[in-house]
């Protein structure tokens, strides 16, 4: 099967952290199919121009601060059509997989003549939950999901949010994100007295809830530590305030370093107002961490009786007490998570949806 992947987000040399979960989906499928990636993006938040082509990936990114929204939408369409013609996409590929529906599928009717007949859309985006941060009706975007294609979502919560945004029933296959190979394999049952949390720390993440709760917990459980990896604007804001000796700010780590921390930590926490999935939480489970996650977005979909707890925002102090006093079967947590989130299992679910 030859698959053409079209996405507005993809890692580049300048931005290696740009949507790695999309890259992981595609690489998982590459073991069972051949593919080409068209990374086509027009935006208005900075001056940028990237045009790079290889046999496997084409990057075309154009940006200029202040461009009107509708202009970037039209420019993205024109850039995409140009690239589709260059590779003769309609006859070269068996299926096209759009990662993120907007903006490209606003123009699906006009795009169809340049595409293979089978069209798949894989959706990851939180913007449906927030109505694109707009007070407008956004009818053109809502109409996208009435198109003649199969929809794949990374969580049931995301599917429901798309349905709520559109105002009509939306059916989708649920295919989770991939936890990378660094997070697979045997795990230790001997754990440090460490609570771990990590992300790129910006809204809607709420690390201050855990930091405040841990500062209180440390008064009675001084042998426990809280370790935070990752950077972002919330780190710059919170680090000067939370300076307890048992709070350790680790900065940005690579996947191998993150996996090593996860295999040594007793638990992983994710405080957030909303998540469409949370790859880092899946990775923590694969490393055998018990998890405590906010009762928001797709995070509850991770929770089973034997792997963690859901937390209301006002209950993080009690949650940390539970996590540090309860016994967890770390090997079983890892075994169950790896059976769900490893690349081979996810790829096979993906292929089943593509072939249907």
Average pLDDT over residues 165-180: 96
Q: How many CB atoms are closer than 10 A to CB 311?
A: 27
| 181-341: CATH topology | Rossmann fold (3.40.50)
Q: Where are the alpha helices (DSSP H) in the chain?
A: 20-30, 69-86, 89-92, 108-111, 139-142, 156-166, 207-217, 233-238, 255-264, 279-286, 316-325, 330-341, 343-355
B/e letters for 52-83, b = 16+ CB within 10 Å, e = fewer, are eeeeebbbbbbbbeebeeeebbebbbebbbeb
Phi/psi region, residue 252 (left: phi>0; alpha: psi -120 to 50; beta: rest), is: beta
For 277-306, the pLDDT digits (tens) are: 999 999 999 999 999 999 999 999 999 989
What local confidence, expressed as pLDDT, does residue 84 receive? 97
Confidence of residue 353 (pLDDT cuts 50, 70, 90): confident
| Angle at alpha carbon of residue 135, lines to 203 and 158, rounded to 5° | 55
pLDDT at 354: 82
Bond before 345 cis per omega within 30 degrees: no
Q: What percent of the chain has pLDDT over 70?
A: 100
Averaged pLDDT for residues 209-218: 97
Least confident of 43-47, 99-103, 191-195, 290-294: 43-47
Are 351 and 97 spatial neighbours (Cβ–Cβ below 8 Å)? no
Q: What is the CATH number of domain 2-175?
A: 3.40.50.2000
- Mean pLDDT of the chain, nearest integer: 95
Crossing angle of helices 279-286 and 330-341, in 10° steps, is 130
Residue written as token pair 């489970």: 285
Gap between the Cα atoms of 145 and 271, Å rounded: 31
Mean pLDDT across 90-112: 96
Q: Where are the domains of the chain?
A: 2-175, 181-341
**Cβ(293)–Cβ(270) below 8 Å:** yes
Asked if 229 and 250 touch (Cβ cutoff 8 Å), the reply is yes
Same fold, 2-175 and 181-341: yes
């Amino acid at each position: 099967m030859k698959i053409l992947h079209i996405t507005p987000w993809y890692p580049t040399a300048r931005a290696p952290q740009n949507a790695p979960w999309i890259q992981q989906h595609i690489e998982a499928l590459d073991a069972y199919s051949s593919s080409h990636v068209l990374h086509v993006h027009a935006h208005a938040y900075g001056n940028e121009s990237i045009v790079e082509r290889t046999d496997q990936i084409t990057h075309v990114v154009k940006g200029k601060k202040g461009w009107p929204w509708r202009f970037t939408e039209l420019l993205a369409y024109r850039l995409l059509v140009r690239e589709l013609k260059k590779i003769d996409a309609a006859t070269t590929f068996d299926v096209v997989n759009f990662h993120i529906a907007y903006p490209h599928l606003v123009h699906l009717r006009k795009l169809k003549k340049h595409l293979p007949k089978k069209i798949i859309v894989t959706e990851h985006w939180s913007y449906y939950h927030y109505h694109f941060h707009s007070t407008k009706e956004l009818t053109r975007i809502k109409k996208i999901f009435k198109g003649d294609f199969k929809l794949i979502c990374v969580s049931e919560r995301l599917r429901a949010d798309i349905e709520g945004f559109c105002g009509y029933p939306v059916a989708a296959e649920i295919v989770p994100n991939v936890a990378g190979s660094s997070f697979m394999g045997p795990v230790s049952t001997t754990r440090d007295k460490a609570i771990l949390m990590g992300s790129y720390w910006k809204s809607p993440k709420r690390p201050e809830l855990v930091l405040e709760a841990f500062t209180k917990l440390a008064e009675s459980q001084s042998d426990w530590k809280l370790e935070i990896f990752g950077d972002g604007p919330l780190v710059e804001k919170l680090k000067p305030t939370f300076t307890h000796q048992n709070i350790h700010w680790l900065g940005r780590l690579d996947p191998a370093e993150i996996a090593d921390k996860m295999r040594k930590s007793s638990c992983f926490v994710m405080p957030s107002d909303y998540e469409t999935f949370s790859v880092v939480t899946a990775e923590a489970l694969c490393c055998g961490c018990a998890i405590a996650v906010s009762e928001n977005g797709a995070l509850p979909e991770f929770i089973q009786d034997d792997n963690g707890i859901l937390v209301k925002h006002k209950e993080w102090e009690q949650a940390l007490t539970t996590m540090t006093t309860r016994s967890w079967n770390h090997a079983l947590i890892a075994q169950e998570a790896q059976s769900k989130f490893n690349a081979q299992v996810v790829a096979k679910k993906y292929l089943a949806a593509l072939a249907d």
